[in-house]
Chains A and B, each alone.
Chain A
Amino acid sequence: MAGELTLEDLSKRAARAGLKLAEDELQKLLPGVNRALRQAAELRQLITDCTEPASAFSALEVDKVSPP
Chain B
Amino acid sequence: MTAGDLCYLTISEAAAGLRRKEFSPVELTKACLARIEAIDGKLHSFITPTTDYALEQAREAEKELHSGKDRGPLHGIPIALKDLYATKGIRTTCHSAVFEHWIPDDDATAVAKLQGAGTILLGKLGMHEFAFGGPSVDAPFPAVRNPWNTAHIPGGSSSGSGAALAAGLCYGALGSDTGGSIRTPSSHCGIVGIKPTYGRVSRSGVVPLSWSLDHAGPMARSVEDCAILLQAIAGHDPKDTASANVTVPNFRAGLKDGIKGLRIGVPRADWFDENKGTDPETEAVFNAVLKTLESLGAVILEIDGKAFSIARKANQTILVCEAYAYHEKTYQETPMKFGTSVRRRMLEGAFLSAADYITAQRARSVLNEQIRANFSRVDVFATPSAPRPPEAFESMDPNDQNLRPNFTNPFNLTGLPAISVPCGFTSGNRPSGL
Contacts and interface: CB of A to CB of B under 8 A. Distances in A.
A39 B316 CA distance: 9
Contacts of A42: 310, 313
Contact of A54 (B310, B335, B351, B364): B364
A46 interface: yes
| B contacts with A: majority SS | helix
Interface residues of B, number: 31
B361 interface: yes
Nearest to A56: B242
A39 B360 CA distance: 9
Interface in B51-68: none
Contact of A47 (B320, B352, B359): B359
A40 B350 contact: no
Contact of A18 (B332, B344, B367): B332
A10 B362 contact: no
Contacts of B348: 29, 32-33, 36
A66 interface: no
B150 interface: no
A28 interface: yes
Q: Which of A33, A40, A47, A51 is most buried by chain B, counting CB atoms within 10 A of its CB?
A: A40
Given A29-B344, A32-B348, A42-B310, A37 B362 contact: no
Contacts of A47: 359, 362-363, 365-366
A19 interface: yes
Interface size class of A (residues with CB under 8 A): 20 to 34
Interface string A24-68: 000011011101110110111011000111110000000000000
Q: Which of B316, B351, B356 is most buried by chain A, counting CB atoms within 10 A of its CB?
A: B351
Contacts, number: 89
A39 B365 contact: no
A17 B352 contact: no
Contacts of B314: 39, 43
| A contacts with B: majority SS | helix
B236 to A, nearest CB: 15
B317 interface: yes
B374 interface: no
Nearest to A51: B362
Contacts of A44: 359, 363
Nearest to B353: A40
Interface of B: 212, 310, 313-314, 316-317, 320, 332, 335, 344-345, 347-348, 350-352, 356, 358-368, 399, 402-403
Given A33-B351, A39-B314, 7 more contacts: A36-B352, A39-B313, A40-B359, A51-B363, A52-B362, A53-B358, A53-B361
Interface of A: 5, 10, 13-14, 17-21, 28-29, 31-33, 35-37, 39-40, 42-44, 46-47, 51-55
